[in-house]
Structure 1
């Protein structure tokens, strides 16, 4: 359920968080108004400094919320950066393997170059696949099958012609390709744990109720200011979730390096 919510489009995600905060705030507001009626009967001067109470509670609550969101944003940003570097690294090692394959004598070079191109096409499918483990693993399985085909060719070349030019370089390059593929796949899948968003959601609801109750105990409701704050918080949560979707988020990891690489190994 959490994964489905986090995979909503950015506008829907922001709107959903905003609605949750508004509803929580309204609930807290009526709780605050009820508390005001009950307590004011027995202690009429209890709320004389209500504006100061609102300010104190709001500042403390927002500080804790900012700390929590900052930690989550840091985790999502680290994941985003790892995916960005993984794309650049994979494009570089595939191009290196292609160049090493071209150094091999005929007829080995033609077949190796062809297979490396097919491998690059498979890896490019990540750009259009769905952002879920099943789809990513399917592409990984296809690319590993293609990579095993390349390894079989290399072993055959090593047996037939062990003195083939730059064979050691090609072995190292293909090994780097496999390492880069595994790293990129794991970075795509090992995102910010969904469980981390559970306390974030609970904390947002708690803050909404707390802010609403504080406003209910005050002399003014501050609808425009409070709803503006909720929108900004919802926007922050949406950006955090979107950063954690490197393939198809609104803020996604640029795949240009892979496309440039593919055009270079024509």
Structure 2
């Protein structure tokens, strides 16, 4: 259930609002049973406890938001890096002998399309999926070609192409790892506990019902947690890493290929 909510920020927002409102109501009812509820010193202690727990919650939310934002920026940068790496490999493939130039460039065009199919989906990556198998197959074909060319003609031009192809393959692993790098569940659990405790103490410290004091803290925490989940989720949510760089590269490579065919 928790993993589902972390991948669906809208549902998480609704759940957090409901839980925190229940905690607030429970705290408010507890105050009615307190014997010293009219004691000013006791009330000051309640407010101090509320401020201390609320401050800790605020710091944890800020820390977690920073973590999620860094992971989001990393995934976004890796899309640009992979597009640049594939584009560089494509250009260097064009410098090779005709025996491998056309095949390598065709495979790289197919590889871009396969990568778009993998990371453009709104589901988790299936390691046994058709797109993943196709991408791995293309990697193997490209590397076998490059290895054969390096053994037969170990020139600096071939070496440059091999280096670029190695970067392409490395970025595959980096993007998969970045997609799986999420905010640890322990942090989510601690943030949830602090949010519930804070809402309970706020309700406990209220002498009378006040919509502003009830809903503003609840919605603030719920929005913050939903935003963190949205940034942290690589699949669902409103904020997603754009694949525009890869899409532009795919369009450009196919246009170049079409132009070459027209010239011939």
2:226 corresponds in structure 1 to 238
Structure 1: which 5+ runs fail to align? 41-45
- Aligned partners of 1:53 and 1:214 also within 8 Å: no
Q: Distance in 1 between matches of 2:118 and 2:203?
A: 44
Deviation at 1:48, TM superposition (A): 4.1
- Is residue 2:242 matched to residue 1:251? no
Counterparts of 2:237 and 2:192, CA distance in 1: 20
Matching of residues 127-166 of structure 1 within 5 Å = 127-132=119-124, 134-135=125-126, 138=129, 139-159=131-151, 161-162=152-153, 166=157
Between the aligned partners of 1:199 and 1:54, the Cα distance in structure 2 is 21
- Across the two proteins, how many residue pairs are aligned to each other? 253
**In structure 1, how many angstroms separate the alpha carbons of the residues matched to 2:213 and 2:43?**
15
How do residues 89-238 of structure 1 correspond to structure 2 at under 5 angstroms?
A: 89-132=81-124, 134-135=125-126, 138=129, 139-159=131-151, 161-162=152-153, 166-215=157-206, 218=207, 220-238=208-226
Q: How far, CA to CA, are the matches of 1:175 and 1:61 in structure 2? A: 50
Give the conservation status (yes or no) of the 8 Å contact 1:140–1:185.
no
SS for the counterpart of 1:221 is coil
1:190: Cα distance to partner? 1.6
- Is the partner of 2:23 in helix, strand or coil? helix
Structure 1 stretches of 4+ with a deviation exceeding 6 A read: none
Equivalence for 1:28 = 27
- Structure 2 portions without partners, runs of 5+: 255-264
Partner residue of 2:250?
Answer: 262
Residues in 2 aligned to 1:125 and 1:144: alpha-carbon distance in whole angstroms: 13
Deviation at 1:163, TM superposition (A): 5.8
Q: Is the 8 A contact 1:5 1:13 kept in 2?
A: yes
Q: TM-score w.r.t. structure 2 length?
A: 0.87
Report which stretch shifted further, 48-57 or 192-201.
48-57
- Root-mean-square deviation (CA, aligned residues, Å) is 2.2
Structure 1 position 81, deviation (Å): 1.4
Alignment-derived partner of residue 16 in structure 2: 17
TM, length-normalised to structure 1: 0.86
